């Protein structure tokens, strides 16, 4: 599960863009039609992109390139369990009978648009110095801040971010100067959940290996929250989805802007709960209210999240950052060992149970990720997304 569509690596645009230009796709300049120079320029321009444009756009790029260089889709439709192959085939076949010159025009326009957006995004999503590339991590005055830093992707969690998030929690736990740890998001989203591009990263040994690797990554990620020894505070600056919501049940305090929303759309994607939410949500909310989120995909407001004990306090958006930061600064002045001992007493009796829940949830998800039902649901999601391009 380490590579994206056509073996693109989600963590780095360099690897996926090179595949577009492999020898399988090379044709002579004489056969390229009226847009040769612009088409060649667009291919070169693609190499200058700094950000991964997302799997839906990469599908479009792939399809237009194939249509421009080969013509109408002439490949055999892949089997249903070939996630990547079927997604690529659907994208190419969906172009129908458009001419090679028209495909070249669309390819050129799309790449130029991406290049233009990349220039404006550089100042917003600047890669932080040091070991973190998907997070902005800082420690000051007893406060360790983990900021999810993929704003152009609404802070969707790639596998690289999963690993870095675990590493950041470990760093905060081991730093003796840290009193409290804060998790928030860059931009207008807290987190849009799991990057569904992770499901398109099929390794050579197939879907089973992809699913099992994903289960290991997820179990390690959730375990880092279960075992985190210091006060952990969520600062929810915008909409939150999926696993970014479910792990909130493992935080010690959660503050949200009144513009935040919360949703765990598992069943709509053919999946099942994680983040220990199958255990923590019913305990916090009651079975019926938890089922609205975990089974029936209900999106709730910040106030509703507060009413269900998922959120500690809701603040007006215009005053959110000032109010929350003032609160956090107060916490950072408290005796740190006293805070840790108090957390230990309130959480230790549940720790073994939470690890067991985490393990079981991940086992079920590994099965779900290999199911035809999950495949169909994810393909439906990508089809809807692609149709909006």
Integer Cα distance of 46 and 92 in angstroms: 19
Query: Is 145 among the domain residues?
Result: yes
- Asked if residue 86 has pLDDT above 80, the reply is no
Specify whether 167 is located in the same domain as 114.
no
Specify whether 118 is located in the same domain as 150.
no
CB 230 within 8 A of CB 181: yes
Q: Give SS3 for 191.
A: strand
Specify whether 97 is located in the same domain as 183.
no
Full residue range of the structural domain in which residue 49 is found: 5-123
Confidence of residue 80 (pLDDT cuts 50, 70, 90): low
pLDDT digits (tens, 9 = 90+) for 187-198: 999 999 998 766
pLDDT at 20: 34
| Residues pairing with 235 in the sheet | 255
**Residue, of 183 and 201, whose pLDDT is higher:** 183
> How does strand 135-140 pair with strand 143-148?
antiparallel
Closest Cα partner for 224 from 162, 303, 180, 178? 162
- Asked if residue 82 has pLDDT above 80, the reply is no
Specify whether 216 is located in the same domain as 353.
yes
Contacts of 44 (CB under 8 A, 6+ apart): none
pLDDT at 26: 36
Confidence of residue 6 (pLDDT cuts 50, 70, 90): very low
Q: In the chain, where does DSSP find H-type helix?
A: 13-20, 36-46, 55-69, 83-93, 100-121, 159-174, 207-226, 243-246, 277-285, 287-294, 302-307, 320-332, 336-369, 372-387
Confidence of residue 207 (pLDDT cuts 50, 70, 90): confident
Query: Is 385 among the domain residues?
Result: no
pLDDT digits (tens, 9 = 90+) for 259-274: 999 999 999 999 999 9
Buried b (16+ CB within 10 A) or exposed e, 7-43: bbbbbebebbbebbeeeebeeeeeebeebeebbeebb
pTM for this model (two decimals)? 0.69
Ranking 98-107, 192-201, 284-293, 358-367 by mean pLDDT, the lowest is 192-201
Number of separate domains in the chain: 2
Specify whether 85 is located in the same domain as 147.
no
């Amino acid at each position: 599960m380490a590579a994206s569509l056509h073996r693109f690596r989600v963590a780095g645009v360099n690897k996926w863009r090179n595949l577009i230009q492999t020898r399988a796709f090379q044709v002579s300049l004489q056969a390229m039609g009226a847009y040769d120079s612009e088409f060649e320029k667009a291919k070169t321009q693609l190499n200058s992109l700094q950000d991964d444009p997302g799997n839906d756009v990469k599908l479009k790029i792939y399809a237009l390139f194939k249509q421009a260089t080969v013509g109408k889709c002439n490949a055999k439709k892949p089997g249903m369990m070939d996630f990547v192959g079927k997604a690529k085939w659907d994208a190419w076949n969906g172009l129908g009978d458009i001419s090679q010159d028209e495909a070249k025009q669309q390819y050129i326009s799309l790449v130029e648009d991406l290049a233009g957006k990349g220039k404006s995004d550089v100042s917003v999503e600047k890669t932080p110095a040091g070991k973190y590339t998907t997070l902005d991590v800082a420690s000051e005055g007893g406060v360790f801040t983990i900021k999810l830093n993929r704003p152009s992707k609404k802070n969707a969690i790639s596998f690289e971010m999963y690993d870095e998030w675990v590493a950041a929690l470990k760093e905060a736990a081991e730093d003796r100067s840290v009193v409290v740890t804060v998790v928030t998001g860059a931009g207008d989203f807290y987190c849009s959940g799991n990057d569904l591009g992770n499901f398109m990263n099929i390794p050579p040994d197939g879907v089973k290996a992809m699913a099992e690797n994903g289960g290991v990554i997820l179990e390690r990620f959730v375990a880092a929250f279960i075992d985190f020894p210091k006060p952990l505070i969520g600062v929810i600056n915008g909409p939150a989805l999926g696993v970014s919501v479910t792990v909130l049940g493992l935080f010690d305090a959660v503050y949200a802007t009144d513009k935040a929303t919360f949703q765990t759309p598992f069943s709509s994607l053919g999946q099942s709960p994680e983040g220990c939410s199958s255990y923590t949500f019913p305990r916090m909310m009651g079975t019926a209210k938890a089922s609205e989120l975990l089974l029936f995909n209900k999106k709730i407001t910040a106030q509703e999240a507060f009413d269900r004990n998922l959120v500690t306090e809701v603040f007006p958006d215009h005053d959110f950052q000032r109010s929350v930061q003032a609160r956090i600064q107060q916490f950072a002045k408290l005796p740190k060992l006293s805070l840790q001992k108090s957390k230990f007493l309130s959480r230790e009796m549940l720790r073994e149970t939470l690890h067991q829940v985490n393990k079981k949830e991940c086992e079920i998800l590994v099965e779900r990720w290999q199911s035809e039902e999950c495949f169909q649901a994810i393909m439906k999601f990508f089809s809807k997304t692609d149709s909006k391009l």
